[in-house]
């Protein structure tokens, strides 16, 4: 995994160049854009416009649109004035800037981690198999807007420097879990700062034990076509602290349930919770000593039911192909487990998703006795 180390001095020092001798990312891209008036106002208010005008700098700016700021304001039950009054606004804005080099879109790889000017947190990048690019949870909608002192990439969401479940995995050397999340392209879902998630995080040893039981190695586990669904079996919508747990079943984001047993300590299925209640900005993480698998025999023999969704990513309509005609109901739910669309498949296998906001969702097909799921990307 690549990582940039970035210092503040890159934009603080001037080499004596004439400021008017070349274009810059603020005056010639952000200030000229009709879609970035809120970003322009925020940068000016915090005195950061001068840093972005520095012709001696080499900058990469991730620029949220006005719609992105509107969406954040709505999620926080405020308005643009409320966002501009945030006490950590400078930190949020500098979280959108890399300061020691121009990073074109061609240099971004899946799983890239970069240190922005804000030192509160790193930025995590996802490049999906379909070619979409995310910075944390934010979809990149335009790339490589070049100026003399850097480049601007446009985001459709504001990224916030909050600690998330992904940070817990990275910072605590959960290398196997981190690799699995990257491979399954789930970083956008798990870094959403406005989500509330409970993640059961298997240790490296837990992944090693599962690999040994299946006669494969970590690479073999990561190659499983159902990796995303297996990982989502470790995620529960909402923040569930250890003190909130009770004996019984808990639904996960892959549509199936895990069993909680408090008889001797805390167990999730057959896994022991060995560290509980690691708080994050978007939920809580509990560390477990085994990988939770919906059905180990199915994983071993490759029998887990699959269905095709196309196109995926999609923006207007999706079509579903499934071999088993018993699946007669489709549901789309967000990463908090909330159902946002439910439709019968009895008369059509086509679903209109044009009113769903961009993001990562779970598409589930249900029959009387089972449910199968896939990740759905809406652009």
Please state the rounded mean pLDDT for residues 200-210.
Answer: 97
Q: Three-state SS across 130-182?
A: CCCEEECCEEEEEEEEEECCEEEEEECCCCCCCCCHHHHHHHCCCHHHHHHHH
d(CA 182, CA 176): 10
pLDDT of residue 325: 62
pLDDT tens profile 112-130:
999 999 999 999 999 998 8
User: What are the CA-CA distances from residue 222 to residues 31, 179, 287 (Å)?
Assistant: 44, 8, 20
User: If you ran DSSP here, which 8-state letter would residue 87 be given?
Assistant: T
| Average pLDDT along the chain | 87
Statement: residue 203 has pLDDT above 90: yes
Greater confidence (289 vs 2) lies with: 289
Q: Which of 84-88, 201-205, 298-302 has the lowest mean pLDDT?
A: 298-302
Class in CATH terms, 165-301: mainly beta
d(CA 96, CA 136): 11
| pLDDT above 70 coverage of the chain, percent | 89
> Tokens 């926080």 — which residue?
76
| pLDDT above 90 coverage of the chain, percent | 65
Greater confidence (17 vs 361) lies with: 361
To the nearest 10°, report the CA torsion of 359, 364, 365, 371: 170
Which own/partner pairs from 248-251 qualify as long-range (CB within 8 Å, at least 24 positions apart)? 251/337
Q: Three-state SS across 28-56?
A: HHHCCCCCCHHHHHHHHHCCCHHHHHCCC
Selecting from 3.60.150.10, 3.30.413.10, 3.50.50.60, 2.30.180.10, what CATH number does the domain 3-155 have? 2.30.180.10
pTM (2 d.p.):
0.82
φ, ψ at 30 (rounded to 5°): -65, -50
pLDDT band for position 334 (cuts 50, 70, 90): confident
Class in CATH terms, 307-378: mainly beta
Strand partners, 60: 98, 151
φ, ψ at 51 (rounded to 5°): -65, -40
Sign of the torsion angle spanned by Cα atoms 206, 208, 214, 219: positive
Please state the rounded mean pLDDT for residues 192-215.
Answer: 94
Sequential DSSP letters for 202-219:
E-HHHHHHHHHHHT--HH
Greater confidence (32 vs 16) lies with: 32
Domain 3-155 and domain 165-301 have a common topology? yes
Please state the rounded mean pLDDT for residues 307-331.
Answer: 80
Please state the rounded mean pLDDT for residues 175-201.
Answer: 95
Statement: residue 170 has pLDDT above 70: yes
Question: How would you classify the pairing of strands 339-344 and 350-352?
Answer: unpaired
d(CA 56, CA 3): 23
Q: Where are the domains of the chain?
A: 3-155, 165-301, 307-378
d(CA 218, CA 210): 9
pLDDT of residue 208: 96
d(CA 264, CA 272): 9
Which own/partner pairs from 260-267 qualify as long-range (CB within 8 Å, at least 24 positions apart)? 266/242
pLDDT tens profile 274-307:
999 999 999 999 999 999 987 544 444 343 446 7
d(CA 52, CA 98): 11
Q: Three-state SS across 314-357?
A: ECCEEEEEECCCCCCEEEEECCCCCEEEEEECCCCCEEECCCCC
């Amino acid at each position: 995994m690549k990582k940039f180390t970035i210092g503040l001095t890159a934009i603080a020092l001037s080499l004596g160049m004439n400021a008017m001798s070349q274009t810059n990312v603020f005056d010639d891209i952000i200030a000229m854009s009709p879609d970035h008036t809120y970003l322009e106002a925020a940068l000016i208010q915090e005195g950061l416009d001068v840093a972005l005008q520095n012709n001696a700098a080499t900058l990469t700016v991730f620029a949220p649109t006005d719609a992105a700021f509107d969406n954040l304001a709505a999620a926080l039950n405020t308005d643009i004035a409320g966002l501009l009054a945030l006490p950590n606004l400078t930190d949020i804005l500098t979280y959108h800037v890399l300061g020691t080099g121009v990073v074109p879109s061609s240099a971004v790889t899946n799983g890239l981690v970069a240190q922005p000017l804000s030192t509160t947190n790193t930025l995590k990048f996802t490049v999906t198999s379909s070619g979409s690019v995310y910075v944390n949870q934010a979809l990149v909608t335009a790339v490589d807007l070049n100026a003399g002192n850097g480049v601007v990439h446009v985001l459709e969401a504001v990224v916030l420097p909050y600690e998330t479940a992904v940070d817990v995995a990275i910072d605590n050397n959960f290398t196997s879990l981190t690799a699995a999340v990257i491979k399954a392209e789930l970083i956008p879902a798990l870094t959403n700062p406005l989500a509330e998630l409970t993640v059961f995080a298997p240790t490296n040893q837990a992944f090693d034990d599962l690999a040994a039981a299946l006669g494969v190695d970590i690479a073999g586990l990561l190659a499983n076509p159902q990796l995303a669904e297996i990982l989502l079996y470790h995620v529960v919508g909402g923040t569930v602290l250890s003190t909130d747990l009770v004996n019984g079943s808990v639904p996960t984001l892959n549509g199936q349930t895990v069993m909680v047993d408090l008889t001797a300590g805390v167990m999730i299925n057959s896994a022991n919770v060995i560290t509980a209640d690691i708080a994050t900005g978007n939920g809580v993480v509990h560390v477990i000593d085994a990988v939770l698998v919906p059905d180990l025999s199915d994983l071993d023999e490759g029998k887990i039911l699959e269905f095709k969704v196309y196109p995926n990513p999609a923006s207007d309509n999706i079509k579903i192909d499934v071999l088993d005609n018993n699946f007669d109901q489709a549901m789309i739910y967000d990463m908090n487990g909330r159902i946002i669309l439910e439709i019968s498949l009895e008369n059509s296998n086509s679903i209109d998703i044009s009113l769903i906001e961009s993001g990562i969702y779970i598409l589930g097909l249900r029959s009387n006795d089972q449910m199968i799921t896939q990740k759905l990307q809406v652009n």
